[in-house]
Amino acid sequence: MNPLENIKVKVSPDLHDKLPRKWKKIGDIIIIDFKDIYEDKKKQIAKIYAEELKVKTVIQKNIISGELRTPDKIDLLYGNETITEISEYGVKYKLDLAEIMWSPGNTGWRSTLAGPEKVSDFYSFNKPKVIIDYFAGIGYFAIQMAKGYPKTKVIAIDKNPKSIKYLTMNCKENGIENIKIINDDCRNITSKADVIHLGYIGNTIDFLEHAYSCLEENGIAIFHEAYHNEWLGFKKRSDWKGIPVNFSKLMKSKRFNVEKFERVKFYGPSTSHIVAILRKN
Ligand code: SAM
């Protein structure tokens, strides 16, 4: 029996149609939406989910917002520990889900050179001396890039001191020594790089001008963002090939040529999280 069937056996039948069928398991914690469950039943049902899914904590799904992409408020349905550890493609990440976000949909992509072929191809750079990660967080991409390019100096920047605390711990835990960690706004850092990684969604384009000024001649920016499928010119699955014309034009206006383009995941209705390699021209 699948976990939901096992859960149903322990819950009164009149509540079955209200039980969430989906959840995000992050380390030994789940994030789930209990909005349809009656207030007086939440804790009891959360305990059943926790036991069935073998997790120590159940957190109500909430909005991730603000410039630093932090959870709005934390509503614990079961348990009280919010620090968890995730193992992904040979890297261990520790973080506090009450303070910092984790995107399960980026699995594979976060793993850069250690990831699936499509991802490792994408993240294959030609002997970079310096890589800067502008939105390093707890080390999502920076740690794998530092592992994959042991002779490269990786500069990992994040504005949120709480992320920096976990980034420092995660570098140590994974034995990474070629990362320099900076707690600041990435636009205050003027170091030069061969590769600048922009792992952000929302207004990534606002950071491109600064990235341009920090890139060496011929350097590349790895640009993550979300766009409407229609703007990208994608109506059906078979359209997902090549580089969208609108995107190319937009990047040309920012003095970049688009060399590669991929979709990472769906990101809300009719919207996709995309990633591109942009060459400075
Ligand atoms: N790519 C990640 C993943 O795989 O789950 C998620 C990216 S994370 C939410 C974005 C990070 O950018 C946050 O840690 C936030 O603190 C940081 N950030 C936001 N604005 C920034 C800025 N201007 N300079 C540096 N870091 C910034």
pLDDT tens, residue by residue, 4-21: 999 999 999 999 999 999
DSSP 32: E
What is the CATH topology of the domain spanning 103-280? Rossmann fold (3.40.50)
Q: Distance of alpha carbon 118 from its chain centroid, rounded? A: 17
CA–centroid distance, 158 to ligand 1, in Å, is: 6
| Residue 245 near residue 233, CB atoms below 8 Å | yes
Which range has the worst mean pLDDT, 60-64, 162-166, 168-172, 209-213?
Answer: 60-64
> Considering only CA atoms, which residue is closest to atom 26 of ligand 1?
158
- For residues 144 and 115, what is the distance between their CA atoms, to the nearest angstrom? 9
Q: Is the CB of 140 under 6 A from ligand 1?
A: yes
Q: What is the pLDDT of residue 102?
A: 95
| Ligand 1 atom at shortest distance from the alpha carbon of 109 | 4
Residue with tokens 């630093």: 68
DSSP 139: T
Q: What is the pLDDT of residue 238?
A: 78
| Ligand 1 atom at shortest distance from the alpha carbon of 160 | 16
Closest of 69, 109, 56 to residue 222, by C-alpha:
109
Percent of the chain with pLDDT over 70: 100
Q: Is the CB of 199 under 6 A from ligand 1?
A: yes
Q: What is the pLDDT of residue 252?
A: 98
Query: Which residues have CB under 8 Å from 49's CB, separation 6+?
Result: 7, 23, 30, 32, 55, 58, 78
Q: Is the CB of 144 under 6 A from ligand 1?
A: no
| Ligand 1 atom at shortest distance from the alpha carbon of 101 | 9
CA–centroid distance, 159 to ligand 1, in Å, is: 7
Q: Could you tell me the pTM of the whole model?
A: 0.95
Q: Is the CB of 160 under 6 A from ligand 1?
A: yes
Other CB atoms within 10 A of residue 167 CB: 29
- Record the tokens describing residue 3, joined without a space: 């976990």
* DSSP of 5-28: HHHHHTS-GGGGGGS-S--EEETT
CA–centroid distance, 68 to ligand 1, in Å, is: 6
| Ligand 1 atom at shortest distance from the alpha carbon of 185 | 24
Q: What is the pLDDT of residue 10?
A: 96
pLDDT tens, residue by residue, 134-184: 999 999 999 999 999 999 999 999 999 999 999 999 999 999 999 999 999
pLDDT tens, residue by residue, 224-265: 999 999 999 988 877 788 899 999 999 999 999 999 999 999
Q: How far is CA 93 from CA 57, 169, 218, in A?
A: 18, 9, 33
Closest of 105, 276, 107, 127 to residue 197, by C-alpha:
276
Strands (E), 27-184: 29-32, 57-60, 64-65, 70-71, 76-78, 83-88, 91-96, 130-133, 153-158, 179-183
- For residues 192 and 195, what is the distance between their CA atoms, to the nearest angstrom? 9
Domains in the chain: boundaries: 3-81, 103-280
Closest of 226, 209, 203 to residue 280, by C-alpha:
209
> Considering only CA atoms, which residue is closest to atom 19 of ligand 1?
68
| Ligand 1 atom at shortest distance from the alpha carbon of 138 | 14
| Domain 3-81 part of CATH 3.40.50.2000 | no
Q: Distance of alpha carbon 157 from its chain centroid, rounded? A: 15
